[in-house]
């Protein structure tokens, strides 16, 4: 049997990050939800998403027996047990909403509806879902700890004696990690460092913290409970934030309670506000409704977006995909996809050229599939 994590029509609530990936491919903690479900169940997982994204995400063969699960739901042992005990063509509902179901014959259709199943069971236990973009950083610390427990290696490479480690939890260090004269505090959670990563001298890390493979943490960086993906460069002060693969915040400046997509670059001195001056709750427009995001929310930046040196981002700024942000004063709190400066529109061909240049810096290429997705987002003027 296989697992298919399906997007539903609420995937738009997770923009800008779901403009370029399925909900199940959002990175938080140590993994995407695709990988997390594989670890919890031991089954291969697939993503069912919007038509313009699906070509990059293979699906099981039509007719295969599958478990269909709402891609925004985070797995836990109780839910996994309930799913694995479902009868064929039985679904789990909560408050009338489809959570998951076992299909005896997979049909790739978007969206998945409860009418696809023959019988229904109400699920009474609480579930946690990544429903809004700020959930990516709000759940991150807990996900690092739970992801580490389910995938904790039997053997690891201990840090060298020059590093100072305090607290009662683990530091996991992969192969070929270079880290000397750093301070790591694991009182609140583990610190996990991927293979071939360099942590330069004077860095201070407070767990829970996960740093991916082939990344560089610059000298004197201060990290408080964050996830940093593969092939990233990080520096300055980073708190309670998620930086996805291939992105850079390489220099001084503050990044707090924020999410940075893939292939982004924050210019030197860039900082964000994460609390309103009146300390009131932060409300963000999601689908025409003002949703309470809590007391803290910083920068939410979509894939392939860059900003100039000394950019100042206001509280709860949402920056779209494939933008080049620069200008005087605080940035607008909402920046559309393909923004040039603050208000103009990026010429599509120039955007593609510049993204390709940035990818070459990390020995990668912009694929035809990526170009097609960006073309769909840009619209008929491409």
State the Cα–Cα distance between residues 123 and 76, nearest whole angstrom.
13
Where do runs of H (alpha helix) occur along 165-306? none
For tokens 């990690």, the residue is 177
Helix or strand holding residue 40 (H, E) = helix 33-41
What would the two tokens of residue 380 be?
């008929």
Tens-place pLDDT, residues 56-66: 999 999 999 99
Check: CB of residue 205 under 8 Å from CB of residue 220.
no
* Local structure of 252: helix, strand or coil: coil
Averaged over 134-145, what is the pLDDT? Answer: 97
- What pairs with residue 324 in β-bridges? 306, 340
Tens-place pLDDT, residues 70-110: 999 999 999 999 999 999 999 999 999 999 999 999 988 88
Cα 124 to the chain's mean position, in Å? 28
Q: Does 293 have pLDDT greater than 90?
A: yes
Asked, as a colleague might, if the bond just before 333 is cis with ω within 30 of 0, I would say no
- What pairs with residue 45 in β-bridges? 3
Check: CB of residue 175 under 8 Å from CB of residue 156.
no
For tokens 């609420």, the residue is 10
Distances (CA, A) of 154 to 69, 76, 240, 319, 337: 30, 22, 28, 41, 44
Task: Annotate 209-234 with b (16+ C-beta within 10 A) or e (fewer).
Answer: bbbbbbbbbbeebbbbbbbbbbbbbb
State the Cα–Cα distance between residues 142 and 30, nearest whole angstrom.
10
State the Cα–Cα distance between residues 131 and 72, nearest whole angstrom.
6
Per-residue pLDDT at 9: 86
Strand blocks (E) in 2-153? 2-6, 27-28, 31-32, 45-48, 66-70, 90-94, 97-103, 119-122
Helix or strand holding residue 84 (H, E) = helix 77-84
Report the percentage of the chain scoring pLDDT > 90.
92
Q: Which of 144, 196, 191, 186 is nearest to 30 (CA)?
A: 144
Helix-strand-coil split of the chain, %, nearest 5: 20, 30, 50
Q: Does 363 have pLDDT greater than 90?
A: yes
Averaged over 225-239, what is the pLDDT? Answer: 98
Instruction: Indicate the pTM of the whole model.
Output: 0.96
Tens-place pLDDT, residues 303-342: 999 999 999 999 999 999 999 999 988 799 999 999 999 9
Distances (CA, A) of 197 to 78, 175, 224, 233, 260: 35, 9, 18, 10, 20
Per-residue pLDDT at 143: 97
Check: CB of residue 123 under 8 Å from CB of residue 135.
no
Domains observed in the chain:
2-122 (3.90.550), 247-378 (2.160.10.10)
User: What end-to-end distance do the CA atoms of the chain give, in Å?
Assistant: 41
Check: CB of residue 238 under 8 Å from CB of residue 253.
no
Check: CB of residue 240 under 8 Å from CB of residue 141.
yes
Average pLDDT over all residues of the chain: 95
Per-residue pLDDT at 381: 63
What would the two tokens of residue 344 be?
């103009």
Does the CA dihedral 180-181-182-187 come out positive or negative? positive
Tens-place pLDDT, residues 151-184: 887 667 889 999 999 997 789 999 999 999 999 9
């Amino acid at each position: 049997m296989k697992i298919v994590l399906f997007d539903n029509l609420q995937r738009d609530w997770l923009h800008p990050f779901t403009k370029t990936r399925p909900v199940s491919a959002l990175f938080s903690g140590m993994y995407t939800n695709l990988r997390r479900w594989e670890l919890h169940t031991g089954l291969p997982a697939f993503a069912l998403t919007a038509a313009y994204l699906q070509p990059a995400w293979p699906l099981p063969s039509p007719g295969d027996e599958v478990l269909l699960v709402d891609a925004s739901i985070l797995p836990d042992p109780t839910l996994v047990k309930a799913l694995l005990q479902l009868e064929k063509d039985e679904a789990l509902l909560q408050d009338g909403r489809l959570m998951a179901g076992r299909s005896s014959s997979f049909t790739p259709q978007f969206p998945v509806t409860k009418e696809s199943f023959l019988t229904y069971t109400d699920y009474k236990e609480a579930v946690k879902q990544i429903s809004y973009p700020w959930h990516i950083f709000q759940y991150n610390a807990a996900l690092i700890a739970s992801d580490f427990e389910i995938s904790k290696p039997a053997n690891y490479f201990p840090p060298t004696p020059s590093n100072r480690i305090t607290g009662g939890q683990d530091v996991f260090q992969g192969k070929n990690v270079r880290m000397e004269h750093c301070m790591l505090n694991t009182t609140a959670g583990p610190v996990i460092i991927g293979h071939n990563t360099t942590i330069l001298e004077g860095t201070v890390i407070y767990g829970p913290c996960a740093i991916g493979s082939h990344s560089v943490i610059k000298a004197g960086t201060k990290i408080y409970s964050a996830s940093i993906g593969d092939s990233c460069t990080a520096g300055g002060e980073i708190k309670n934030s998620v930086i996805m693969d291939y992105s850079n915040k390489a220099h001084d400046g503050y990044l707090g309670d924020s999410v940075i997509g893939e292939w982004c670059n924050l210019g030197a001195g860039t900082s964000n506000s994460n609390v309103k001056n009146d300390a009131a709750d932060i409300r963000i427009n999601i689908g025409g409704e003002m949703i309470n995001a809590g007391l803290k929310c910083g920068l939410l930046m979509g894939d392939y977006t860059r900003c100039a040196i000394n950019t100042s981002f206001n509280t709860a700024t949402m920056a779209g995909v494939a933008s080049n942000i620069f200008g005087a004063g605080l940035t607008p709190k909402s920046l559309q996809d393909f923004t040039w400066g603050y208000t103009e529109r990026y010429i599509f061909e120039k955007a593609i050229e510049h993204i390709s240049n940035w990818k070459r810096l990390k020995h990668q290429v912009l694929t035809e599939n990526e170009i097609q997705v960006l073309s769909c987002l840009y619209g008929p003027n491409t």
